[in-house]
Structure 1
Amino acid sequence: MNPTIESHFENLNSPDKNTQYEAYNQIIEATQQPVDWAYEVWDQLKEDLNDPDNHRRSRAAQFLAHLAISDPEKRILQDFPAIWNVTYDKKFVTARHSLQSIWRIALAGSEQKELVVNHLVDRFHACEEEKNVTLIRSDILQALRNLNDEVNEEKIKRMAMELIETVTDPKYKKKYLAIWK
């Protein structure tokens, strides 16, 4: 692994929050494109999905979502349930950050895209009883929008519009439609 990237991962454990944040941003930036070091950190990130520290769980889910494009072995398909589980984290901010980045897994290929989209659609319908249903639904629709912006598939937009049509409250329907304007 490149020494700079290695130091960013080490800096995630710094006692200084600014150093941690800078390291996080550098890793996110590096993983916008495929990288050759994904498997050097993969197993540790997978372990971190269950770490007692919610920041570690959140970062692990986000980093794995970003590393999906660097996963020719398609490990993400097997590890997806553990990542998806973090979107239900007891700490809502952790759950939300994970949910907001999970769409990136869909950029890795058609199998991954189908898996992610199906989970997002199912969650949109099933989250009615969750505490922050409107935020969760907004995040799901934004995730679909982000994915559509990357892959430009009419099917994804159509699916999002169908989800929005199921919403009965006009205030939230309007809010959700604004995501797609």
Structure 2
Amino acid sequence: MDSIMKSHFEHLEAKDKSLQLEAFQHIINATKEKVDWAYEVWDQLIGWLTDPDNHRRARAAQFLAGLAISDPDKRMLRDFPALWEVTKDSKFVTARHSLQSIWKVGLAGPKQKEMVLTHIIDRFKNGINEKHHTLIRYDMIVGLKKLYDEDKDEYIREIAMELIELEKDSKYRKKYLSAWK
């Protein structure tokens, strides 16, 4: 990892919130492409998934989701359950930020995509009693759309449409469909 990227990771812990945000954005932007430093931070990020600081948990989840494309050893297949757990975080904002990034794991390969889809389908169908379940469902549908836009796999569109059809409330069904316009 070059010194600039190292400094971004250090700046995540800075007292200055604007410095933290800038560092966060640089790391997020870097993970949009394959990087050669994923394993230099992987274990630290896995540890952060259960950190007492909810900001660390959210950042770790978002970074790991992005780093999934830079994971030739397929560690994500082993570590995904810990990442998915953060999408159910007690701090709703942390859970949401994590859930909004989870689709990126599906870009890493067929097994990773199937794993993400399986978890999303299960949660959409069985998460009706979760607090803010309509927002969670919306985030998952938006994630499927983003994955579809990158992957162009019609199977993803079919899954999204089937899930949207499960929504009983027409207001929410319409909202979910709007993500696919």
Q: Give TM class, smaller chain.
A: over 0.9
In the alignment, what sits opposite 2:142?
142
Number of aligned residue pairs: 181
| Structure 1 residue aligned with 2:111 | 111
1:87 aligns with 2:79: no
1:148 Cα deviation (Å)? 0.2
- Give, as a single letter, the amino acid of the residue that structure 1 aligns with 2:22: E
Match of residue 30 from structure 2: 30
Tell me how far apart the structure 2 counterparts of residues 31 and 171 of structure 1 sit (CA, whole Å). 35
Partner of 1:17: 17
The code of the aligned residue for 2:135 comes to: L
Partners of 2:137 and 2:29 in 1: CA distance: 26
Letter aligned with residue 158 of structure 1: E
SS state of the match for residue 73, structure 1? Answer: coil
Tell me which amino acid in the other structure corresponds to 2:116: V
Give the letter for the 1:134 counterpart. T
Correspondence 1:32-181 to 2 at 5 A: 32-181=32-181
Quote how far apart the aligned CAs of 1:106 are.
0.5
Deviations 1:91-131 (A, max 9, x none): 00000000000100010000000000110111111110001
What is the distance in 2 between the residues matched to 1:68 and 1:175? 29
Q: Which amino acid aligns with 2:86?
A: V
CA–CA distance in structure 2, aligned partners of residues 11 and 161 of structure 1 = 41
CA distance in 2, matches of 1:43, 1:167: 38
| 1:142 to partner: Cα distance | 0.3
The Cα shift of 1:147 comes to 0.2
Q: Give RMSD over aligned pairs.
A: 0.5
Superposed CA offset, 1:71-96 (max 9, x none): 00000110000000000000000000
Q: Give, in whole Å, the separation in 1 of the partners of 2:134 and 2:53.
A: 26
Deviation, 1:47, is: 0.3
Structure 1: gaps spanning 5 or more residues: none
TM value normalised by structure 1: 0.99
Structure 2 SS opposite 1:111: helix
Q: What is the identity, as a one-letter code, of the residue corresponding to 2:32?
A: Q
Query: Structure 2 CA distance, aligned partners of 1:25 and 1:118?
Result: 29
Q: Tell me which stretches of 4 or more aligned residues in structure 1 moved more than 6 Å.
A: none
Q: TM-score, normalised by structure 2?
A: 0.99
